[in-house]
Amino acid sequence: MAKIVESATRLDLGTGFRLDIRLHRENRVRSICSSLAIEGNQLSEAEVADVINGQPVRGRPADVREVKNAHAAYDQLLTFDPFDVDDFLTAHGLLTQGLIRESGVFRSGDVAVYEGDTPVHVGARPQFVPELISDLFAWARGSDLHPVLLSAVVHCEIETIHPFADGNGRIGRLWQTLILVRWKEVFASLPMESVVFENRPQYYQALRDSQQDNDATGFIEFCLQAVLATIEEMLVVDHSTARISDTVGDRVGDRAVRTVGVTESVVQLLRDDPTLSAATIAKRLGTTSRTVERRLAALKAEGRVRREGSARAGRWMVIDDE
């Protein structure tokens, strides 16, 4: 918790992250893409960006609709009260409009989460759901827990109650972000969902353990790690000197985004040891493997590095050094 508070304050006040609008847009795409991918949406980040930008995308109509819905919900994030039941229902309606019959209303039937044919979690009986959510929000509004802890508890309880016929994961992650945003608005531009997606087996296991043991500790610990990892990924980006290129760099749709910071650190590490894997580089930089893989792909497209040999036994060649 102390590290999260320190790092979040440094990102918010000690860097240029607040003004890094292009990165904010990229992160919003990552948040939407990752949260939907956890539930099985097959669109890539580039395709998600195209949908948001009004470009045609070849994908399942339901996947495209999910992106449009999620964009609408995240776009209204700052208008929601995290402890208001009506806002909660409105947000669910935005997320699931045109996708399910019971959109924006509590479910009328029983639900269960299955692994194969085995139920691993059964939601609350439908007649108790409205009162359970009301009690949860009333407790949360008056709680003196730190917002980071509170956000994790509320997320866990939403998944345990399972108040909707569908979309419970999406609304739970959105609501955790909303509580964090109420603490520090900078969280509106942080892609915590991407860290959750990259660690979804641990996410599911932490949820399952918390529900079976009636103890949210494991899930809270997972959320603390995800929050810190997300902040630290943004801290390694040089927001004040990052260059924006029209032709190279990571891309979301057809928009170039900031690449200095992590990118140049990756190049330097490969100069020192060309056998490093993306996972090892990510560990040394305090970021995620997915971020490093995107930087490596951009460097390859730019012609600054190339891979020689197999994926397991090969090595990276920094073209500048040849």
Per residue of the chain (322 residues), what is the pLDDT tens digit?
A: 999 999 999 999 888 898 888 889 899 999 999 999 999 999 999 999 999 999 999 899 999 999 999 999 999 999 999 999 999 999 999 999 999 999 999 999 998 877 777 777 889 999 999 999 999 999 999 999 999 999 999 999 999 999 999 999 999 999 999 999 999 999 999 999 999 999 989 998 998 888 888 898 999 999 999 999 999 989 987 665 443 333 223 333 333 333 345 677 888 889 888 888 888 888 777 677 777 887 787 788 778 888 888 767 788 989 865 4
Q: Return the domain boundaries, the chain.
A: 2-235, 261-321
**2-235 to CATH, choices 3.40.50.12160, 3.30.70.580, 1.10.3290.10, 2.60.40.10:** 1.10.3290.10
Provide the β-strand partners of residue 191. none
Q: How many CB atoms lie within 10 A of CB 3?
A: 12
| CA angle (287, 290, 291) in 5-degree steps | 50
Architecture of domain 261-321: Orthogonal Bundle (1.10)
Burial of 47 (0-12, 13-18, 19+ CB in 10 A): buried
Residue 102 CA: distances (Å) to CA of 97, 109, 256: 9, 10, 39
Q: Per the structure block, which two tokens stand in for 127? A: 């007649």
Q: Which residue, 287, 283, 288, 297, is CA-closest to 252? A: 297
